[in-house]
Amino acid sequence: MKKNSRMNLQYVLIIVVLVAAFAVCVFLFEMSVKGIRAAGDDSGAIRQQTVTYVFLLGVAFLAIILMIIDLIRKYRTAIIQLATTDELTGLNNRKSFIQRYQELEETGGLHDSLLFMMDVDFFKQVNDTCGHAAGDSVLSGIAAKILALGDQCLAARWGGDEYIGVLINGKENAVFQLENLIREIAEETFPGDVHVTVSVGAALITEDLDLTAMSERADYVLYQSKKGGRGRLTVYDPETMTVEGTASTEKKAPKADRMYARQQALVTFSETKEERQQEEKTGKTLMLFQILNVFLGAVNYMLPFAIGGGILIAIAFLLDGVAVDVNSLTADQRSLFGTITPIAAVFKGIGDRTFAFMLPVVSAFLAETMGGPEAFVSGFVGGYMASTGSSGFAGAVLAGLLAGWTVRLMKNFFREIPRHVASSISVLLYPVVSLLIMNVLMVYLIEPGAGLFNHILTAMLEHMSGFGIILGAVVGMMMATDMGGPVNKAAYYFGTASIASGHPEIMAAVMIGGMVPPCGIALATWMFPQKFTEAERKRAPVTLLLGLSFITEGAIPYVLEDMIHVIPACMCGSALAGLLSEAFACTSLAPHGGFFVFPVVEKPIPYFVSLFLGSLLCALVLGGFRKRKAMPEKGI
């Protein structure tokens, strides 16, 4: 852990040095140009100075980009592993297992295969009597034995102390392997002198049933194993319609009796009301954790678009700021800032096009996760409508969830139809119907609601135009409220409109309010490392870069994991930054760019001080109120 902390600190220090060098170059260039113009020479000397300092800026920026690439390369493998595996056991996580199962199903790789579900007997007693560390050792030890089954076994931690897996080497071999696995676990002595047994239910996979139906079969016979004495394997055979146990064989009960038997097994396992309530609470927690993983996965797909597009847009404003005297521009010309010079227009165009895909990607990922590949297109279109409308990130999330639920409902409605008909429906009916429903909901419900909300907020801000520093605090706080949602958009549009109306100080407060959340969170991870997980600390350098580039969405992964503490802390820091920006009378004619457009900000040093103090307050509030979350690294 100490080695990783030192490496992270080195990266942070190098990036800080490069950013400082970048700022020095910008400051020297600005001073040189002002000096030359004061001497009355605006021709060759200015061009020479421009070429020199643009070259220096390019070198500094290239060094920063190389550092970012190195960071991304370093953490890419770790990010993929975190997204697909269970951290404690090293097995696949639930989402990864479902994806790989579906891939095998589509390629016919599940023929003559056995699906099994495994549960640790009386696991709660292990935690209560030996401690959670011993319980974790049991779970990881059992996972190691499952992994030892080799490539013929696709397994995952399904949740809590329950495992799921597929053995693809034939039914007889699979049963033999599972019986040996149960025996080995029963004979194993785990750390803390702990002995446990496992109950297993298995079902032969058939082509006419999906994973949900197959897991229900395996789950049913799993509880038959528990009811039969635990520490045993029971196999459900759909061909003979009997339940085959390793110790005995019994006829398949009617549906009502099967449900009663399962309930009886549950009652036997949960001996008290308190234990049953605890199990229900654990199930709800696991469900929330799965939903959180879906949102984090969507954000991980979004961030490359935000990083690439946002930085290219920032470069465009920087290039125009270097080549053009901003103060000499008319109001109409200021609205074109970032596209005035040809090279800036190229960067701005690429950045805008890249940035435009950010919300559609989020929406499409959520839709596909909820409803499968058939929901991808309607989710993507809904996200595009949110990005071009007024609902923003919140609208894209709603669009993705609605698209996924729509397709899922249609799949449930048509689940009884033959497979050859279902394939045609999935191609023709699901995308068309979900697209129609999505457009109706977005056009007549979500977008009008967000537009009305934005209109109300804009009118409120216009009435506050004469309140100076209070208005700066309000727009700064609004930028940190929903991280790209309707409130954030209302403040940003008000700031850009203020440039044309001759009040660029409002745009400065808006921009710095949007920079504080990622910067403050990154600062908090370094000031209070014990309050953040290892994954959160590793994301900090990229989060800082996003904040400096005025990409507020960089804070979203932290918001999803701890909204109660992160949002208020960010709002406090952004409000202070906006207030100080107004108090220092800082102005910005650039509506985007963050740190890259500080050269065109009036009073850049007080502006930077406002950013630092706002980020510091955000970090102090977040670190002060957040509970300790960091866990020891595996193996330490």
- 69 and 161 housed in the same domain: no
65 or 10, which is more confident: 65
Phi, psi of 201 (to 5 degrees): -120, 140
**Of 84, 113, 142, which closes a domain?**
84
For residue 474, give both structure tokens.
């309000």
* Largest distance between two CA atoms of the chain: 102
Residue 253 binned pLDDT confidence (cut-offs 50, 70, 90)? very low
580 within a domain of the structure (yes/no):
no
- 125 and 233 housed in the same domain: yes
Residue 54 binned pLDDT confidence (cut-offs 50, 70, 90)? low
- 79 and 178 housed in the same domain: no
- 43 and 173 housed in the same domain: no
Can you tell me the mean pLDDT for 393-405? Answer: 84
175 within a domain of the structure (yes/no):
yes
- 80 and 99 housed in the same domain: no
Residue 29 binned pLDDT confidence (cut-offs 50, 70, 90)? low
Residue 1 has pLDDT above 50, yes or no: no
47 within a domain of the structure (yes/no):
yes
412 or 334, which is more confident: 412
Write out pLDDT tens, residues 508-536: 888 999 999 999 999 999 988 888 888 78
**How far is Cα 123 from Cα 142, in angstroms, rounded to an integer?**
12
Residue 242 binned pLDDT confidence (cut-offs 50, 70, 90)? very low
Write out pLDDT tens, residues 422-442: 666 777 788 888 888 888 888
3-state helix, strand, coil in the chain (%, to 5): 75, 5, 20
Which pLDDT value is given to residue 65? 65
Which pLDDT value is given to residue 516? 93
Element at 249 (helix H, strand E): strand 249-251
Residue 573 has pLDDT above 90, yes or no: yes
- 128 and 245 housed in the same domain: yes
197 within a domain of the structure (yes/no):
yes
**How far is Cα 318 from Cα 339, in angstroms, rounded to an integer?**
11
Which pLDDT value is given to residue 422? 60
| The one-letter amino acid at 423 | S
**How far is Cα 455 from Cα 475, in angstroms, rounded to an integer?**
15
Mean residue pLDDT across the chain: 75
**Of 55, 84, 113, which closes a domain?**
84
Which pLDDT value is given to residue 619? 92
* CATH number for 141: 3.30.70.270
198 or 296, which is more confident: 198
- 13 and 156 housed in the same domain: no
- 57 and 182 housed in the same domain: no
479 within a domain of the structure (yes/no):
no
478 within a domain of the structure (yes/no):
no
**How far is Cα 23 from Cα 29, in angstroms, rounded to an integer?**
10
The domain in which residue 146 lies consists of 94-269
- 52 and 197 housed in the same domain: no
Which pLDDT value is given to residue 104? 83
Residue 615 binned pLDDT confidence (cut-offs 50, 70, 90)? very high
**How far is Cα 162 from Cα 89, in angstroms, rounded to an integer?**
12
Which pLDDT value is given to residue 96? 84
Write out pLDDT tens, residues 82-98: 677 887 888 888 888 88
Whether 389 contacts 444, CB under 8 Å: no
322 within a domain of the structure (yes/no):
no
Q: How many domains does the chain have?
A: 2
- 55 and 5 housed in the same domain: yes
Q: Which of 492, 381, 355, 368 is closest to 447 using CA atoms?
A: 381
DSSP state at residue 357: T
**Of 203, 237, 269, which closes a domain?**
269
Neighbours of 45 (CB within 10 A): 15
**How far is Cα 499 from Cα 142, in angstroms, rounded to an integer?**
63
- 140 and 182 housed in the same domain: yes
Range 122-126 contact pairs with CB under 8 angstroms and sequence separation of 24 or more: 122/196, 122/230, 123/160, 123/161, 123/196, 124/275, 124/278, 126/194, 126/196
- 34 and 132 housed in the same domain: no
Residue 257 has pLDDT above 50, yes or no: no
- What number of residues does the chain have? 636
**How far is Cα 523 from Cα 513, in angstroms, rounded to an integer?**
16
Query: Per the confidence metrics, is the pTM higher than 0.85?
Result: no
Can you tell me the mean pLDDT for 296-321? Answer: 75
29 or 409, which is more confident: 409
